[in-house]
């Protein structure tokens, strides 16, 4: 039977009789039809029919019923430079993500408050909660919303930006507590479940499987992520990833996407790492990490051959910090670290994660390919310096140009906050630009179809224009072209 899954689906006699089968085929799942299989199945020599294999999918009803109350929504108030085009959305507004843009009707405003919304989960009956650091960083006020409609003002106990973990505390007792699992027991292909607030739709349940383990990502800090195909979106950040036992095995943290929404690649922070971070934040107010004092890269086949190794393995030291623990022990650039405390080092990322997860002051044993021979080094680790988080200087707006536009280049944090691919924000609009309808807070993407990301590039594109230009503007999440007449020079 052929079933069309799109427009023009036609009901046949067989689909009327077996609608569930038709649905499952539309979803790409082959489910044997028991009745027809029994009629057509051949008999073996003993006259019995061959057993039929039936695909069984798990139900997550019990898990959600037991653990759903441990998941919370986390809302923070942040001050953003710009001017609002509408009132800031309230927590729980399902469309809040779409309105966090600079598109003001009032030119006089330069700062306003926005509310962010993420997820989290309760780890103690007296009110400790884990979430992502990026959900609450720079927030002046943090409010936690429970499934029973209660809400609490939360205190930020500590933040670790290197792992994107934050610990909150609310004044409450007898709260439902999430059960903490062991991510090491996860296998690729295992079912997992996420609960969170994608786009503000609170307590949304999504499911998928573990796609990979130990995934190192660019700018992933000191985290070996759990990769899944669980649909998560903005608002899921900080929420729990459950195994089928209802145990938290990860914290949903980020996705890879070209659209800003889910595209099949989701990444969670292993819960054992998150709990270590939590313990450090409670005990010391910060996370202490071991420091070896080297920079390293992976070893490919050509490098292995060049350095005399039989196969690609280990972490190739590219530089050694003068006076650091590795330098004092005699490690040199060009050495290849093969083992750490007897465990094979498969990559530079794995070495970095292992060293960072080791307590400062603790001795570690390295097996190193050193000067064309295997040598052992015992090194006492130093402490990795606390990550500096200086606020970047906000670029000053330019003087108005021929169009009457005063532009400013956005900082990286502002671009993340605005969820924009653009880099130039209009600080002020006068003359022809104002007459054409350009407003402060608009983001300039292109001039006459030429993408621009700096003021210099914008001015260069303007020099190529004649009597008028077409500016591609981003406003309220939408893009539009605006034609502007050039003033005479």
Catalytic residue positions?
134, 164, 237
User: What's the rounded Cα separation, in Å, for the pair 296 and 368?
Assistant: 13
Total Cβ atoms within 10 A of residue 400:
17
Classify residue 41 by its DSSP letter: P
Single out the residue of 369, 317, 314, 377 nearest to residue 341, CA to CA.
377
Task: Report the b/e string of 28-55 with b at 16+ CB within 10 A.
Answer: eeebebeeeeeeeeeeeeeeeeeeeeee
Tokens of 115: 């509310």
Residue 336, both tokens:
């290849």
Closest CA to 189 of 227, 215, 150, 237: 227
Q: Is 314 exposed, middle or buried (0-12, 13-18, 19+ CB in 10 A)?
A: buried
DSSP single-letter state for residue 110: -
CB 475 within 8 A of CB 442: yes
Backbone CA torsion sign across 324, 326, 327, 328 = positive
Cα 102–Cα 108–Cα 110 angle in degrees, nearest 5:
50
CA distances from 352 to 214, 305, 338, 385, 413 (A): 13, 24, 13, 14, 26
In angstroms, rounded to a whole number, what is the distance separating the alpha carbons of residues 114 and 95? 13
Distance CA 258, CA 276 (A): 33
DSSP label of 185: G
């Amino acid at each position: 039977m052929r079933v069309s899954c799109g427009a023009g689906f036609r009901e046949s006699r067989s689909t009327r009789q077996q609608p569930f089968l038709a649905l499952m085929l539309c979803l790409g799942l082959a489910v044997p039809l028991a009745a027809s299989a029994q009629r057509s199945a051949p008999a073996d020599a003993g006259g019995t029919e061959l057993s039929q294999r039936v695909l069984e999918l798990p139900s997550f009803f019990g898990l959600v019923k037991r653990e759903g109350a441990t998941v919370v929504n986390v809302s923070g108030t942040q001050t953003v430079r710009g001017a609002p085009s509408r009132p800031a959305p309230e927590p729980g507004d399902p469309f809040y993500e779409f309105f966090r843009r600079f598109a003001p009707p009032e030119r006089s405003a330069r700062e306003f408050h926005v509310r962010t919304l993420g997820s989290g989960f309760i780890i103690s009956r007296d009110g400790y909660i884990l979430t992502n650091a990026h959900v609450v960083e720079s927030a002046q006020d943090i409010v936690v919303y429970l499934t029973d409609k209660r809400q609490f003002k939360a205190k930020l106990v500590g933040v670790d930006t290197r792992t994107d973990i934050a610990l909150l505390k609310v004044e409450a007792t007898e709260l439902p507590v999430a059960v903490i699992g062991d991510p090491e027991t996860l296998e690729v292909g295992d079912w997992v479940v996420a609960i969170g607030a994608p786009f503000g739709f609170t307590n949304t349940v999504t499911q998928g499987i573990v796609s990979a383990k130990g995934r190192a990502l660019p700018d992933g800090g000191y985290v070996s992520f759990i990769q899944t195909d669980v649909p998560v979106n903005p608002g899921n950040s900080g929420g729990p990833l459950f195994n089928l036992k209802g145990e938290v095995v990860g914290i949903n943290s980020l996705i890879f996407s070209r659209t800003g929404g889910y595209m099949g690649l989701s990444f969670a922070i292993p819960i054992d790492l998150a709990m270590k971070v939590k313990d450090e934040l409670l005990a010391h107010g910060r996370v202490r990490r071991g420091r070896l004092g080297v920079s390293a890269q992976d070893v490919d086949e050509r490098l292995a051959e060049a350095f005399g190794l039989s196969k690609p393995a280990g972490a190739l030291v590219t530089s050694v910090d003068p006076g650091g623990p590795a330098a004092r022990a005699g490690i040199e650039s060009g050495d290849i670290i093969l083992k750490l405390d007897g465990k094979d080092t498969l990559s530079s990322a794995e070495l970095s994660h292992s060293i960072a997860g080791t307590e400062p002051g603790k001795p570690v044993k390295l097996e190193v390919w050193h000067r064309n021979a295997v040598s052992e080094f015992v090194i006492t680790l130093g402490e990795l310096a606390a990550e500096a988080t200086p606020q970047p200087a906000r670029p000053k707006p330019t003087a108005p140009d021929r169009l009457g536009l005063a532009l400013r280049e956005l900082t990286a944090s502002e671009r993340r906050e605005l969820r924009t691919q653009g880099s130039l924000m209009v600080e002020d609009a006068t003359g022809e630009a104002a007459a054409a309808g350009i407003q402060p807070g608009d983001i300039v993407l292109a001039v006459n179809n030429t993408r621009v990301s700096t003021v210099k590039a914008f001015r260069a594109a303007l020099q190529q224009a004649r009597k008028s230009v077409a500016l591609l503007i981003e406003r309220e999440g939408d893009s539009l072209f605006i034609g502007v007449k050039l003033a005479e020079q």
